[in-house]
Amino acid sequence: MKTLEKIKMKTRTELRTYKMPQMAGRVTPCAPRLIGLTARAERRALPAAGGAPIVLQRLKRKGAFTLVELMIVVVIIGILAATILPSVIGHKAEAQIGAAKADVSELESAIERFYVNMDRYPTTEEGLKVLVDPPTTEDAKNWRGPYIKILRNDPWGNPIQYRCPGTHHPTSFDVWSRAAGGQDGGEGDAADIGNWENGK
C-alpha cells in the first residue's frame, strides 16, 4: 500500500509539473522546450545575407514572374492586338466615310437653298464660306443665310472642296471630300466622296 501511494504521489507531481509550465515566475522543466522552440522560430525569421527575412524572400520568389511567363503574356497580347485592331480600324474607316457622305449631302442641300434665293450657285471664288457669310456682290440683298450653322472640315481634318461649274456637273457644281487620301482622286478608302455619287 505504501508503494502504491508513492506511485500516485509521483504521478500527481509529474502532472502538476507538465500542466503548469510556469508559476510565480519560476521556470519549470517544460520551459527549456518552449525556449528552444522560440529560438528556432527566431532563427527562421532572421534576415539572410543582410536582406529580407527568409519567409519574405520565399514569398517574393513565389510572387515573381519568370521570363517564360512574361513571354507568353506578350505573345497573347500580340495575338489579341492582331485580331482586334483591324476590326476596330475598319469600323472607324466606315464611320468616317459615312460622316463625309452626310457632310457632302448637307452642303449640297444648302447650296440648292442658296440657289433658290440668289438665282445662282456660289462661284468657285466665293466657295462654301458664302453659305455662312453673305456675299459682297450686288445681289447680297437676296441672301437669306446662313444656310449652315458652321463650315466644318471633313472627318479627316481637310477642307471640303467646291467647284462651279463642276467637272462632274458642268451645269451646276461639284462638292466633295478628298477622303483619307487628302488629294483629288484615289481609290478605295482614299477615293473622293462627292455629290456626283448621289446620281445627280
Q: Where are the domains of the chain?
A: 80-198
pLDDT of 15 higher than 70: no
CATH class of 80-198: alpha beta
**How many other β-carbons are positioned within 10 Å of the β-carbon of residue 103?**
19
Q: What pLDDT score does 27 carry? A: 47
* Adjacent-strand bridge partners of 53: 47
pLDDT digits (tens, 9 = 90+) for 141-175: 999 999 999 999 999 999 999 999 999 999 999 99
Q: What percent of the chain clears pLDDT 70, i.e. is strictly above it?
A: 64
The mean pLDDT of 90-106, rounded to a whole number, is 88
Q: What pLDDT score does 144 carry? A: 95
188, three cell numbers: 478605295
Is pTM, for the whole model, over 0.95? no
Q: Is residue 102 packed enough to be buried (19+ CB in 10 Å), middle (13-18) or exposed (0-12)?
A: exposed
Least trusted range by pLDDT, from 92-96, 103-107, 151-155, 160-164: 92-96
How does residue 69 score in pLDDT terms, banded at 50, 70 and 90? Answer: confident
**How many other β-carbons are positioned within 10 Å of the β-carbon of residue 185?**
10
